[in-house]
Amino acid sequence: MSKASFMHGNEAAAEGAIAAGCRFYAGYPITPSSEIAEILSGRLPEMGGVFIQMEDEIASMAAIIGASLGGLKSATATSGPGFSLMQENLGFAVMSEIPCVIINVQRVGPSTGLPTKAAQGDVMQARWGTHGDHPIIALTPSSAQEAFMLAVRAFNLSEQFRTPVILLMDAVVAQLKEKVEIPDPGELTIVHRLTPPVPPREYKPFAFKRGEVAPLAVFGHGYRYHVTGLMHNEYGYPTEDPEVVSQWWEHMTTKINDHLDEILQWEEAQLDDAEIALVAYGGTARAAAHAVTLARAQGLKLGLLRPITLWPFPEAAVRRMAERVQRIVVPEMNLGQIRYEVERLSAGKAAVEGVNRADGLQITPEQILEKVMG
């Protein structure tokens, strides 16, 4: 049976990581994510895992990449400035297809910004923070319960698709306290890494199969292979052959895009008869949900689409919604990032407006309702 605990979002994310099988954490304390490191510094040794406080976020990202190649499910946690420092090594993990999880608890930026205040300004950085074109998976919880469950899912997706996965929290969700149901281990679906079914001489660590990923051998377990940040062939050795590079790109994009039905998650509320729709995510979605309740009490046909998988974005769901409603309002704690995605997808079928603030305070249901009625 599951057990209920009263915990904040950061604690729930840490416990979700443990439940998913995370046994290595490397990180550097930074508000408002520091509780994740603090909790895991105690919990991981209890589970036979390893916790290391690194000298900075660059080293933290490098350490979890190495630990993952060594066979451990690994993670780090950070906030805006630290996430910026992680981008180069994050790109390396994408290129070399190394599973790992990065928890980014967003705060107001740029630079040091407002260290203790909530924001959602890292949305596009999560998608395009590294240089080059590549797919990425980013999940965004709206409750402490989801912080736990999406932490588990982040590790599962990371292992299934051999890719770094970003758990994109915000300080609203990270710091709130509420009841969290912790399932028994047997109730959780846990994805384990595929290991090579062939002998070392036949192993291709980066087999370029459309829509598939190759098994990942553990370093030191009899398989020797080359890992590089350069474009490489199926054996991991650098290449500039355009044909091989094209095969790599097809593999890298289709391993995500051919499995959107397994990756994408979103939630819809009161959209069947809605004339106006909200698109909100993370902590802001909590205010948006209450705004729907307030609007319906006044006879306004308002609905909500809440992306849970932020990247890839649930494009088809937004397009369908834009066909049915007259207006779409996008509240977010930034100056308008997901709003531009919604505008692109609605393609003029519905008017799109934003409710935006980046002063560290959460958007209220009343502010959303004022825009809806305006």
Rounded to the nearest 5 degrees, what angle is found at the Cα of 95, between the Cα atoms of 89 and 97? 100
Question: Closest Cα to residue 338, out of 307, 368, 363?
Answer: 307
Tokens of 68: 């993952």
Q: What is the DSSP string of 274-288?
A: -SEEEE--TTHHHHH
May I ask the CATH class of domain 3-187?
alpha beta
Segments of the chain scoring below 50 in pLDDT: none
* Partner residues linked to 74 by β-bridges: 24
May I ask the CATH class of domain 267-373?
alpha beta
Pairing of strands 164-170, 327-332: unpaired
DSSP state of 320: H
SS3 content of the chain, % helix, strand, coil (to 5): 40, 25, 35
> What pLDDT does 1 receive?
60
* Partner residues linked to 330 by β-bridges: 354
Tokens of 225: 């292979």
Q: What is the pLDDT of residues 355-373, one digit of tens each?
A: 999 999 999 999 999 999 9
Question: E strand or H helix at 170, and its extent?
Answer: strand 164-170
Residues 6 or more apart from 196 whose CB is under 8 A from it? 203, 215, 217, 223
Backbone angles phi, psi at 299, to 5 degrees: 85, 10
In this prediction the pTM is 0.97
Question: E strand or H helix at 168, and its extent?
Answer: strand 164-170
* Residue 352, helix vs strand vs coil: strand
The ranges assigned to domains in the chain are 3-187, 267-373
Q: What is the pLDDT of residues 175-222, one digit of tens each?
A: 999 999 999 989 999 999 999 999 999 999 999 999 999 999 999 899
Report cis status (omega within 30 of 0) of the bond before 185: no
* Partner residues linked to 327 by β-bridges: 276, 351
> What pLDDT does 254 receive?
98
Backbone angles phi, psi at 124, to 5 degrees: -75, -30
Task: Round to whole Å and give the CA distance between 258 and 77.
Answer: 29
Q: What is the pLDDT of residues 255-283, one digit of tens each?
A: 999 999 999 999 999 999 999 999 999 99
- Shared fold status for 3-187 and 267-373: yes
